[in-house]
Structure 1
Amino acid sequence: MLQAIVIGGGATGAGILRDLAMRGVSAALVEQGDLVHGTSSRYHGLLHSGGRYAVKDPESARECAVENQIVRRIAPFAVEPCGGLFVRLEQDDPEYARQWVAACREAGIPVEEVDLERLRRDEPLLAGSVREAYAVPDAAVDGWRLVQGNVAAAEALGARVLTYRRVVGLLMDGRRVAGVRLLNLATGEEERLEAELVINAAGAWAGRIAAMASVPLDVVADRGVLLVYHGRLTSRVVNRLRRPGNGDIFVPAGSVTLLGTTATPVPDPDDITVPPEEVAELKRLGAEMVPMAATARILRAFAGVRPLFGKGTGGSTREISRGFAVIDHAAEHGVPGLISVVGGKLTTYRLMAEKAVDVAAAHLGVKAPCRTAEEPILPPPDPKAVERVVHLVGRDLARAVADRHPATLPQIAAAMERPGGRQVVCECEQVTAGELVGTARQLESPSLGDLRRRTRLGMGTCQGGFCGYRAALLLAREGIVAPEQVPALLSRFQAERWRGVRSGLGGLEIRAAELNYALARAQLAVEPVPDGETEAVTPMGGAGHD
């Protein structure tokens, strides 16, 4: 029997799994979709300096300031150290700016005023109405790479990971939680997994898990809409220097820029709809900081659901702390065998995991201390494999491939060295056939969505409209999926991509989407599956989550 089961394959769950494994605890992680299925992949990708919370939530700000530096050190493969700015526009309150600077210094956040003439040279697309600017150590972080790194490190120490398993119930021994009942979404079969302890790190779904043990858990599902722009509108993270609100942050990430975010409480954590009025609001507010945001090409709009812990005032989720809590349900509710961790930010995932595992270790009688802040998540990529990839595709692309696959680079290099392995399948993100094949062979039944999360396939300008076909046919040619599975693979992939461009977008964006849609219908008679079906996993083996 396992000592611990972790529910949730986001950053916190993956961090918990790594921490447990490093302390010698036998553990398994279960996730209802692919890894990073929820909030950890549906947010703006900001590694917080703490500046956004310095005034209203100083405890969270201090946590972010410390964890920002730790994550940079232990996960360099997932972090782009682009730096960050807070800019005050002419119409913003100068008194708040003074208050913010003092609060940052009190929280230990490095802050330095930036000369406006230099700022306009470095960030020429910023509005001319900027009156003050301050540099902070914000960064961009790739949630997928961070989670995959933690999982790979945990698996190397003996941990297990079970994806596409939905928790449908808890195994109860009287009042004690003794394990989980799972629905295998690929086979339709029910599975049972027993353990001494279950750790609920299900994010926005954590309340549902707690309810299975008849214990209350006050989790607020807070939906946020974001826009993805073609190209980098800014070279650094740019925050608006005012009280946090909608449309006040730009985050450059790879070949795109994200603008976020709104904040709307929703009763269902699966509600990731994108209201057109929120898209319009983001464009209007973003253009106040970066005027080109009003007309620049938007690749897609999407939403994620933040799991907030507690209640706000006046119905506003902006007033709920971004702090976290670890709940020992044995002590709080008389239900042993269950621990929940809720709230927090991706930036503080490691700290959340440490505190949760401290509680778990006390119950399990484990004395080993936490080492996750001191030891790198993964060793540097194999230097011989790096040189092999450099020889194939050049140093710049090799660096990107190594960052995407730090733990499995030798296998990726071998696939790229095969005939045709250097051929580029996705021009926008420079994903080669070898990278796709090498990645797909590591998965039990890969979908194009699974490959997208691991390689960035289809995340560029065409949004999968061209590279999706190449990738699906490549998988069939390599014998990874059966030829008859290709239409289903493409249908689900295109449906997910289509969903991101039809919510309130127009002009060039909708014309490009219509082209992709017409290609799907004309070439393969493929119709994107309706909303609500894109999250299904069929038993055919190759048409999973997208």
Structure 2
Amino acid sequence: MREIDTNVVVIGGGATGVGILRDLSLRGIPALLLEQGDLAHGTSSRFHGLLHSGGRYVVKDDKTAQECIAENKILKHIAANCIEDTSGWFVYLEGDDPNYLQSWIKGCSQVGIPVKEIPLEEAFRLEPLLTRQAIRVFEVPDATVDGFKLLWANLRSAEKYGGTYRTYCKVQSLWLENGQVIGVYAQDLITGETLQVRSKIVVNAAGTWSAEIAAMSGVDIHILKNKGSLLVFNQRMFNRVINRLRIPGDGDIFVPHETVTIFGTTSHTVELPDDHQVDEQDVTALIEMGEYLVEDIEQHRIIRAFAGIRPLYESADASDHEGRGVSRNFSILDHEKMDGVRGLVSIVGGKLTTYRLMAEKVTDWVAAKLEVHTPCRTAEEPLKNELATEVWDKARQLLGATAADKMMERLNEQAGSVVEAIARQPLLGQFVCECEMVTQAEVIHTLKDPAVHSLDDLRRQTRLGMGTCQGAYCTYRATPMIQEAFGGWERTVKEYQILLSERWRGITPVLWGEQLRESELARALYLNVLDFKAEESGE
């Protein structure tokens, strides 16, 4: 058993947990983050990628709307490399509720969300696929955010100030003595080693698993696990976020990301925190609802369906609410005051857009307990350091401006070594993934990261396989590098099996037309060219 001492243990490697680690580290508070999988493998990557302006909440949840617009401005400043400032449109359709329209306009004004009406002729010119049933269009400062980039940027910043983390390290129990949590027992899922971590405070930021963590101390908190399914189209259908101007509901938002568009979402209560299966009925329902905003939506190719779980906190006085009726606000649960358990605090609810604010508030609580008076500065200090101009110039000369910029956004301070590798061996600048413009050099660099234990980890750090081919070509091209990194063909086959099985799960609900034909091509690549057996590919 390995023994570790620290001041704070943070449980959960989603946006909130990593944001807390960064804030603690900037305040000089030693902290260790434990995550049972890879960073961003849960809700923080399984969402539509919207950086909210607050417009969706102004009518029924004005507190959340106020937090969203404030954090929207902050994140555009500190995390510009993780955000595309697309703006967003709220589209009022013929037959929609005029009373809601007026309440929405009033609500935006009250919480400080800037709204600009776009003339219809201009709207149709700028977004040709927008339905001609639109009768009014309003622009708000929505944007899109890459959850993977955001989490890794927070982590790298935390590391610079002494923060530490362990992925694939599952908390098995809380360490209690005389009604106080003094640490955790965890298992390293890679090595099998048991860790005994002593701390002064444990922060439960486990998202959909928060109730399970709290229960280890005998505390009962109610987390409503609300599943939302989404569809990925193989093209950038809009250049702006497109919302339907009505009470938030299913199938009312299109979010552009890089070369694809994400459309959603649905709302179903589930029992398991990792129930990510998408039902074909949800796909059909989403397509039907999508016709209200894109009239010929059935003509556009869907390459994937996926689902995420919203961890919604239900307080005792809100237990009659369900799904979309539960507030998207967050709560800090001081279990000493609420349950008589000292040394444990839970942060529940909220949204990715407000992750930094959530981290600030819970770190304020921790700092007060530890009598640390250093103020929070996560709203001012950028998440990345600007690289030297000569590094940017060399990368653009070697790769072209677009590919270089994408790589620099992903790698940040680590980009210099990759650029030098390409300069020494130009063949390393060849693309493994053309959709996301991932080079051989970047794949090799990332596979050397001690935190990368699988192909799925590689995907989350580089976006390899997240474009329109869904890994069919790029993963195949990466075979020699993967085989070398993972120490042989047997391990490589196992990694392919896991990754392709996950990709297949998302493809199966939308397997028709062009997507079916491409899937058959992928099958030929892996079964015939690489000589996989059918059972090995998860098919």
The TM tier, using the shorter chain, reads: over 0.9
Aligned to 1:486: 492
Deviations 1:88-119 (A, max 9, x none): 11121122111111111111111111100000
Match of 1:149 among 140, 150, 153: 153
Instruction: Confirm whether residue 32 of structure 1 aligns to residue 39 of structure 2.
Output: no
Note the 1:400-439 alignment, pairs <5 A. Answer: 400-419=406-425, 420-439=427-446
Counterpart residue identity of residue 187, structure 2: L
SS in 1 for 2:303: strand
Instruction: Confirm whether residue 159 of structure 1 aligns to residue 163 of structure 2.
Output: yes
SS in 1 for 2:478: helix
Note the 1:171-320 alignment, pairs <5 A. Answer: 171-310=175-314, 316-320=322-326
Match of 2:480 among 434, 453, 473: 473
Deviations 1:301-325 (A, max 9, x none): 0000011011667663110000000
Q: How many residues matched?
A: 531
Instruction: Confirm whether residue 356 of structure 1 aligns to residue 362 of structure 2.
Output: yes
- The unaligned stretches of length 5 or more in structure 2 are none
Shift of 1:491: 1.2
Aligned to 2:471: 464
SS in 1 for 2:502: helix
| C-alpha separation in 1, matches of 2:401 and 2:220 | 53
Q: Structure 1 residues 264-273 or 244-253, which shifts more?
A: 264-273
**Mapped contact 1:308–1:322 kept (Cα < 8 A):** yes
**Mapped contact 1:441–1:480 kept (Cα < 8 A):** no
SS in 2 for 1:421: helix
Match of 2:10 among 6, 11, 16: 6
- The unaligned stretches of length 5 or more in structure 1 are 535-546
**Mapped contact 1:495–1:528 kept (Cα < 8 A):** no
Query: CA-atom RMSD, angstroms?
Result: 1.7
Overall identity of the aligned pairs, in %: 45
| C-alpha separation in 2, matches of 1:187 and 1:368 | 37
Q: Structure 1 residues 171-180 or 218-227, which shifts more?
A: 171-180
| C-alpha separation in 1, matches of 2:171 and 2:436 | 35
**Mapped contact 2:233–2:261 kept (Cα < 8 A):** yes
Counterpart residue identity of residue 509, structure 1: Q
Aligned to 1:539: none
Deviations 1:308-361 (A, max 9, x none): 011667663110000000111112111111110000000000000001011111
Deviations 1:344-383 (A, max 9, x none): 0000000000010111111111111111111112222343
When residues 445 and 41 of structure 1 are mapped into structure 2, their CA distance, relative to the original with a 3 A threshold, is closer
Q: With the length of structure 2 as denominator, give the TM-score of the two structures.
A: 0.95
| C-alpha separation in 1, matches of 2:478 and 2:447 | 10
Shift of 1:444: 4.5
Deviations 1:210-240 (A, max 9, x none): 0001001121111000000001111100000
**Mapped contact 2:78–2:379 kept (Cα < 8 A):** yes
Deviations 1:147-201 (A, max 9, x none): 1011000111111110011111111112111111112111223222111111000
Shift of 1:489: 1.8
| C-alpha separation in 2, matches of 1:374 and 1:528 | 52
Shift of 1:51: 0.1
Match of 1:374 among 365, 373, 380: 380
Q: Structure 1 residues 203-212 or 329-338, which shifts more?
A: 329-338
When residues 403 and 218 of structure 1 are mapped into structure 2, their CA distance, relative to the original with a 3 A threshold, is same
Q: Structure 1 residues 259-268 or 513-522, which shifts more?
A: 513-522
Counterpart residue identity of residue 168, structure 1: Q
**Mapped contact 1:261–1:282 kept (Cα < 8 A):** yes
Counterpart residue identity of residue 276, structure 2: I
Shift of 1:27: 0.4
Aligned to 2:397: 391
| C-alpha separation in 1, matches of 2:189 and 2:521 | 32
Deviations 1:123-145 (A, max 9, x none): 00001100110000000000111
**Mapped contact 1:249–1:259 kept (Cα < 8 A):** yes
Aligned to 1:85: 89
When residues 528 and 425 of structure 1 are mapped into structure 2, their CA distance, relative to the original with a 3 A threshold, is farther
Aligned to 1:18: 22
SS in 1 for 2:231: strand
Counterpart residue identity of residue 56, structure 2: R
Deviations 1:250-282 (A, max 9, x none): 000011000010011111111111011111111
Shift of 1:432: 0.8
Q: With the length of structure 1 as denominator, give the TM-score of the two structures.
A: 0.94
Shift of 1:525: 1.5
When residues 124 and 404 of structure 1 are mapped into structure 2, their CA distance, relative to the original with a 3 A threshold, is same
**Mapped contact 2:500–2:537 kept (Cα < 8 A):** no
Instruction: Confirm whether residue 74 of structure 1 aligns to residue 81 of structure 2.
Output: no
Aligned to 2:135: 131
Counterpart residue identity of residue 292, structure 1: D
| C-alpha separation in 1, matches of 2:422 and 2:289 | 44
When residues 452 and 288 of structure 1 are mapped into structure 2, their CA distance, relative to the original with a 3 A threshold, is same
| C-alpha separation in 2, matches of 1:375 and 1:233 | 34
Shift of 1:526: 4.3
**Mapped contact 1:7–1:202 kept (Cα < 8 A):** yes
| C-alpha separation in 2, matches of 1:445 and 1:112 | 45
